[in-house]
Structure 1
Amino acid sequence: MHRIVDIHPHVISPDTERYRPAPLGGKQSSWSQKHPLTHEDLVAEMDRAGVEKAVVVQASTVYGHDNSYVADAVAAHPDRLTGVFSVDVLADDAVEKIEHWRSRGLTGLRLFTAGSTMEGQADWLNDPRSHAAWDHATRTRLPICVQMRPPGIPLLRDLMERFPNAIVVIDHLARAVLDDGPRFEASAPLWDLARFPGVHLKLTVRNIDAAGQGTSTVPDLMDHLMKTYGADRVAWGSNFPAAERPLPELVARAREAVSTLPEADQAAILSGTALKLYPALATSPAGAEA
C-alpha cells in the first residue's frame, strides 16, 4: 500500500484562554465548534488511519492570524507534523511576521480569501500591498496555500504572471465545478493555471464527491488532473475534522479515488507531491524514504 501524507488537517485547542479564538470574518466555523481536535488527538487519528505525516493547516476560521497552536503542535510532534501559517499579507510587517512563524518551525503560508464564514470571494488577493509578502515567499521558496473560489482565479493568474516562480497550492481545487462532464469545461480557468509550473492542486473529499455527481465521474476527474497538471502537481488533503468524516474513511476514499491511475501517479498524489512541497517532512526521522 502506498504511504500517506496528509496536507490539510486542522487542530483546535480546548484551551480558549491560552489560544483565544479570533476567526477571520468574525465568526467561528461551525465545524470547529462541533469537532475540535487537539494535536494529540490528530496524531492518534493518523495512527489509526495509517497516515505517516501531515501538514497542519492554520484554522483561519478559529484563530485568524495567530498561529500559536499550529506552531505548538509541530513542536510537540516534529517527527510527524509540519505546519502552514497565516499572516495579514496587506500589513506593513507581513514579511517580519512570515519570518517569525518560520522561526517557529512552520513551513508554508496560507491566504484565506474565501470560506464557510466569509461571503463570496475576497478581492484583496492581488492587492499591491501583498506583493512584498509574495516576493519574499517566492525568493525563500515558501509554498503559498490559497483558499479561494473560482472568481479569485483571475487574481491569482495576475499574481503568477508577476511572480512566475512562486510555489502555490490551491485548496480544494478552488471549489471548482466538477459535475459538468469529463472535460470539466466550466472550470477552464483553473486548468489554464497549469501553464505556471509552480501552481499545484490540493485534492480533497469535497472534490472527489463533486466529481461523482452530475455527468462526470471520479475517474474522469483523475484523468483530467493527469492531463492538465500531472501527478507531481497534485497532493491529497483530508480536511479533517472539517470534512466531518472519520480520518480512516477519508483515507480510504482517497485511495479509491486514485486507484484507476498508474502506481507511480497514485504514490505521487498520496505522498510524493506533499514531500516535495514540504521537504521538512521528508527529512524528519520518520520521513526518510525507505
Structure 2
Amino acid sequence: MIDAHQHFWQIGQHGCSWPTPDLTSVYRDFGLEDLLPLAQLAGVTGSVLVQSQESDADTDYLLAVAEQSGFIKAVVGWVDLAAESAPVRIARLAQQPKLRGLRPMLQCLPDDDWILRPELEPALAAMKQHHLSLDALVYTRHLPHIALFAKRHPELSIVIDHAAKPAVIATDCPAEDWRNAISSIAKLPNVYCKISGLPTEAGKDQGLEELASYIQHLLMVFGAERLMWGSDWPVIKLAPNKQLSIYKNWLNLVHHALAGCKTSEIESVFIGTSLRFYRIA
C-alpha cells in the first residue's frame, strides 16, 4: 500500500511556521523515524511526502529526506508560482528524481480564484514541461475555480487534497454544495481526488457511518481509478475523534467503507492510482 499524503516538519527550521504552539498534539518535530513504525504496522510500504510550509527551504529539506529513504516514493513541494523566478526554480527542482508535483497552499490565500491569475502562466508552463502534477489544497468554495483551471490546462494532472475539506462536523450527511461541486469537477478527466483529511473535518462523535457516505460518494463520481488514500499524518492527530487520530484506525475505516468494492477497485485506491498519478516506478 502507498500512503499518498503525509508530512514531515522540524519546528523552527526550514521555514517551518506551522503548527503553532497552541496545537499541542502536533507541535513537535515529526520525521521518518516517527512514521515508519506506524506505516509498517498498517502494511503501508511507501508514501508521498507533501509540503506543509510556504518555503523553498522546506521543499529542499523534504527532497533531502526523500533521497535517503526508499520508503518515500515521491515528493510534492512548494514554489511561489507567481514569482518571476518560478520557472527557473521549477526546472532545478525537476532534476531531483523524486519530485513529482507542487502544491500552492490555496486554502490560505485571500483570493479564492488565485490559481486563475495570468502571472502564474510561466510557472504552469514549466510544470507541464517537466511533467509535474498539482496538488490542490482547497475548500469546497474553491472547486468551481479549480474546475475552470483544469479545463484551461487539460494536460496538467490535478489532485484535490482531502476531498476539498467538506464540513463533516456540520452534518452527518454530505452537504448539497459539496456533493454538487465535487460531482461536477469529477467529470474532468485530469482531476483526481485524495481520500484524506476527513477525520480532522469531522466531529468527536462522528466515525465510520458518517465518513463512509463521503467516501462512497467520491467513489461513485471519480471511480477507483482516480481516487487514492492518504493518511494526512501527523495532521490527523488533530482529529476531534481521538480514535480516528490514530494512523491505522483511519486506514481501517476507509477499508470498511470500501468493503463492497471489487478487489481491483480497492487495489487502485490503496496503491494503483497513486503509482500512476505520481509516476512511481
68, 86, 92: which one pairs with 1:94? 86
Q: Which of 21, 25, 32 in structure 1 is aligned with 2:15? A: 21
- For residue 56 of structure 2, what is the aligned residue in structure 1? 65
Structure 1 residues without counterparts, runs of 5 or longer = 284-290
Task: Specify whether residues 222 and 266 from structure 1 end up closer, same or farther in structure 2 by C-alpha distance, changes over 3 A only.
Answer: same
CA 1:87–1:23 in structure 2 vs 1: closer, same or farther (change >3 Å)?
A: farther
Q: Is the 8 A contact 2:14 2:55 kept in 1?
A: no
**Corresponding residue to 1:135 among 125, 129, 138:** 125
Shift of 1:29: 8.4
Is residue 219–residue 260 contact of structure 1 (8 Å, CA) maintained in 2?
no
User: In structure 2, what is the equivalent of residue 190 of structure 1?
Assistant: 182
Deviation of the 1:49 alpha carbon = 2.5
Q: Does 1:11 align with 2:8?
A: yes
In the other structure, the counterpart of 2:153 is: 163
Within 2, Cα distance between the matches of 1:53 and 1:31? Answer: 27
Residue 22 of structure 1, CA deviation: 4.5
Task: From the superposition, tell whether residues 201 and 222 of structure 1 become closer, same or farther in structure 2 (CA, over 3 Å).
Answer: same
Measure the CA separation in 2 of the matches of 1:194 and 1:130.
Answer: 24
Taking the aligned partners of 1:90 and 1:279, their CA distance within structure 2 comes to 26
Shift of 1:162: 1.2
Note the 1:189-208 alignment, pairs <5 A: 189-206=181-198
Distance change >3 Å, CA 168–CA 256, structure 1 → 2: same
Larger deviation: 65-74 or 171-180? 171-180
TM-superposed CA distance for 1:255, in Å, is 1.9
Q: Which has the larger displacement, 236-245 or 70-79?
A: 70-79
8 Å CA contact 1:55–1:84 kept in 2: the answer is: yes
TM-score in terms of structure 1 length = 0.80
- Aligned-residue Cα RMSD (Å) equals 3.0
1:77 and 1:213 map into 2 onto residues whose CA distance is 36
Matches within 5 A, 1:35-46: 35-46=28-39
Moved more, 89-98 or 102-111: 102-111
3-state SS of the aligned residue for 1:226?
Answer: helix
Instruction: Give the length in aligned residue pairs.
Output: 268
Q: Which residue of 1 aligns with 2:266?
A: 266
Aligned to 1:247: 247
Q: Select 1:125's aligned residue among 115, 129, 145.
A: 115
- Structure 2: 5+ residue runs without aligned partners? 238-244
DSSP 3-state at the match of 2:94? helix
Query: Matches of 2:73 and 2:36 in 1, distance apart?
Result: 9
In the alignment, the residues of structure 1 paired with residue 123 and residue 86 of structure 2 have an alpha-carbon distance, to the nearest angstrom, of 6
1:107 match: secondary structure: strand
Residue in 2 aligned with 1:256?
256
Structure 1 residues 58 and 277: CA distance shift in structure 2, 3 A: same
- Where do 1:161-240 residues align within 5 Å? 161-177=151-167, 184-187=175-178, 188-206=180-198, 210=202, 217-240=210-233
Question: Residue 122 of structure 1: CA displacement?
Answer: 4.6
> Quick check: 1:94–1:133 contact (8 Å CA) kept in 2?
yes
- TM-score norm. by structure 2 comes to 0.83
Query: Is contact 1:191-1:228 (8 Å) kept?
Result: yes
Residue type of the partner of 1:170?
Answer: I
Alpha-carbon distance in structure 2 between the residues aligned to 1:255 and 1:31: 29
Shift of 1:206: 1.2
